[in-house]
Amino acid sequence: MTWDLFIEQESHKAYYKSLMDFIKSEELTHDILPPKGYRLSCFNLTPYKDIKVVILGQDPYHNYHQAHGLAFSVLNDKYPPSLKNIYKELISDLGVSYPKTGNLTSWAKQGVFLLNTVLTVRAHEPLSHQKKGWEIFTLEAIKEINKKNDGVVFILWGNHAIRFSKYIDSSKHKIITSVHPSPLSARRGFFGSKPFSKTNEYLKSYGYEPINWDLS
């Protein structure tokens, strides 16, 4: 499987055609984020064959100059609250210095598939493209990753992401869960959960190169 083939297969399905029609109509009257060239960034930056880790988000950041197609990642230097908490846990877990960027492309290029379950949003209107078809598309992507032989780490933060665990075979993949890193919940079990070191320990147990999470 390649992502190009996957997208080609999905593009012929009725839900996908309806989704694309919806987005085209939205673009006539609203600013849609991320910009068109970035919406499939996670698929473009992390080839199917290279996936070691999946981090699942919900929908893109809805302010300008933030979302660029990678879950939790931003293009500007104004880190959203959830990303700040991810960084706090990263520093606590691995002892690295505070990240100098909110752009997680370096993770994506190492095999970290940073997937939101919804891939577009109206500017300043969170969840405005929920239940329009993206969830079907991204679930099919998760099912494809689950077909890989073994050794993928799925990091699921919060109830929305944890619901996808039923589509993952835990006998051949590693599932790491905790509450969401948002300020509303991070102190109820995200802090101290050590997802980054746990991921690397698992990858090394399979003989895979660990992820260099350091963004400093």
**Active-site residue set:** 59
One-character DSSP codes across the chain:
--HHHHHHHHHTSHHHHHHHHHHHHHHTTS-EES-GGGTTHHHHHS-GGG--EEEEE-S---STTT-SSSTT--SSS---HHHHHHHHHHHHHH-PPPPS-S--HHHHTTTEEEEESS--EETTBTTTTTTSSHHHHHHHHHHHHHTSSS--EEEEESHHHHGGGGGS-TTTSEEEEES-SSTTTGGGTTTT--HHHHHHHHHHHTTPPPP-----
